[in-house]
Structure 1
Amino acid sequence: MTAYRQTFIEANGIRLHVAEQGDGPLVLLCHGFPETSHAWRHQLAALAHAGFRAIAPDLRGYGSSECPTATGQYTTWDVVGDLVALVDILGERDAVVVGNDWGATIAWQAALLRPDRFRAVVALGVPMMGRAPMAPSRLFPQTDQTRFYTHYFSEPGLAETELERDVATTLRKIYFSASGDVGARDANTPNPFGLVPRSGGLLDSLIDPPSLPAWLAPADLDKFVQAFSISGFRGGLNYYRNLDRNWELQSALEGLLVEVPALYLVGERDTGLAMPGMQEIIGDMPRIVPRLSATRVVPRAGHWLQQEAPDFVNAALIEFLRDL
Structure 2
Amino acid sequence: MHSLTQLVAEELAVPVQAGVCDFAAQIAAQYGDAARAVLFYGSCLRSEQLQGEMLDFYLIVSDYEAAYGKTWLATWNRRLPPNVFPFQHDELIAKVAVLSERDFHDLNRPAASAVSVWARFAQPSRLVWCANEAARVSAVNAICGAAPTLLNAALAFVEREVDVLDLWQSGFQMTYSAELRAERKDRPSSVIAFDPERYERIGAAALHHTHIANALRGGKIILLPDVDGRIALEKNRWPSLRRRGKLLTIARLGKAAFTYAGGIDYLAWKINRHAGTHIHIRPWQRKWPLVAALFLVPKLLARGAVR
**Higher relative contact order (Cα pairs below 8 Å, separated by 6+ residues):** 1
Larger helix proportion of the pair: 2
TM-score (norm: length of structure 1): 0.28
